[in-house]
């Protein structure tokens, strides 16, 4: 299937960069145009897994949520492919919040998008400094936002997410776009995202 009227948007960036806020603004933007979206937030799916009363849930809760570690790529891929299999019928925009998290995941996403015949794929980096990300994460005061876990998350961005970003800069046919996410008006950032996407 191929439909150039629908976009696939990958919002990437450090924890606390504002990916979720921009995803919600995009959902609202398309809704006002009468267009459907599927919003896929990998982090929320992983939190749901962490609450399950099984070994996987226990390990995700202890090793990922509490310590700020990186979830194995297989679990992240499972989270968003499950949504695609169950919900995607082709005539919707797709908005991914926080995926891919590794180069391997980025490669798999490209393969899946090719399978579905998706052509308008936009990896968008919401770029903020590490210092700004740390400040925002501390301010939101979520239970798993300890100094240690925050620093672990910011460390894995440099170690694991950065290679995915480099992949979109070079190897992937779906080229990276960058938006400045440092402190300024949220609507201005949203406007910059829309300029990149240029929805028809």
Convert the pLDDT of each residue in 82-132 to its tens digit.
Answer: 999 999 999 999 999 989 999 999 999 999 999 999 999 999 999 999 999
Closest CA to 182 of 173, 192, 174: 192
pLDDT in tens, 37-79: 999 998 776 777 778 889 988 888 787 777 666 778 998 898 8
Distance CA 178, CA 157 (A): 16
Where are the domains positioned within the chain?
8-40+73-197
Tens of pLDDT, residue by residue over 135-179, are 999 998 777 788 988 898 899 899 999 999 999 999 999 999 999
Cis peptide preceding 100, ω within 30 of 0: yes
**Cβ 12 vs Cβ 124: under 8 Å:** yes
pTM: 0.88
Mention every residue, 6+ apart, whose C-beta is less than 8 A from residue 87.
Answer: 38
How buried is 135 (Cβ within 10 angstroms: 0-12 exposed, 13-18 middle, 19+ buried)?
middle
Report whether 133 contacts 186 (CB < 8 A). Answer: no
CATH number, domain 8-40+73-197, options 3.90.1150.10, 2.60.40.10, 3.10.20.30, 3.40.50.300 = 3.40.50.300
């Amino acid at each position: 299937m191929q439909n150039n009227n629908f976009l696939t948007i990958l919002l990437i960036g450090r924890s606390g960069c504002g990916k979720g806020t921009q995803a919600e603004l995009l959902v609202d933007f398309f809704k006002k145009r009468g267009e459907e979206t599927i919003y896929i937030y990998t982090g929320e799916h992983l939190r749901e897994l962490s609450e399950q009363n099984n070994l996987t849930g226990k390990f995700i809760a202890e090793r990922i949520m509490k310590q700020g570690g990186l979830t194995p790529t297989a679990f992240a891929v499972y989270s968003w492919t499950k949504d695609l299999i169950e919900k995607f019928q082709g005539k919707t925009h797709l908005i991914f919040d926080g995926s891919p998290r590794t180069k391997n995941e980025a490669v798999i996403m490209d393969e899946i998008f090719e399978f579905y015949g998706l052509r308008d794929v936009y990896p968008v980096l919401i770029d903020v400094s590490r210092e700004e990300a740390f400040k925002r994460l501390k301010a939101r005061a979520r239970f798993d936002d300890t100094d240690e876990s925050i620093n672990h998350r910011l460390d894995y961005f440099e170690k694991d997410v950065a290679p995915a970003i480099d992949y979109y800069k070079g190897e992937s046919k779906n080229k990276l776009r960058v938006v400045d996410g440092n402190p300024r008006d949220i609507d201005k950032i949203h406007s910059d995202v829309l300029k990149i996407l240029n929805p028809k």
